[in-house]
Amino acid sequence: AVVTSGKKVGTYTGRVAVRKSGSFNIKTVDKTVQGISWKYCRPLHASDGYSYNTTC
């Protein structure tokens, strides 16, 4: 997620947990960031057997 405005500005990469409200919790290596909107998130990997390359 690349958050560009608000209290949680920054770039976060990690596993997501979907909340009932539609926002996400992102668990990074060292912390958990709660309440990130879906508009800031994009998928980096899918568990479908293919390998993915990402550029940021």
The span from the CA of 44 to the CA of 53, in Å, is: 8
Q: The domain containing residue 24 runs over which residues? A: 2-40
SS3 34: strand
Give per-residue pLDDT as tens, 13-26.
888 888 888 899 99
Domain total in the chain: 1
Tens of pLDDT along 15-56? Answer: 888 888 889 999 989 999 998 988 888 877 777 777 767 665
Supply the pLDDT for residue 54. Answer: 65
Please answer whether residues 25 and 31 qualify as being in contact, where contact means their C-beta atoms are separated by less than 8 angstroms: no
Q: Evaluate whether residue 52 is within a structural domain.
A: no
Q: Give which of 37, 29, 34, 43 is closest to 4, Cα–Cα.
A: 37
Alpha carbons 9 and 34: distance in angstroms, whole number:
12
- Residue 15 maps to a domain: yes
In a domain, 18, yes or no: yes
Residue at 56 is within a domain:
no
Indicate whether 51 belongs to any domain: no
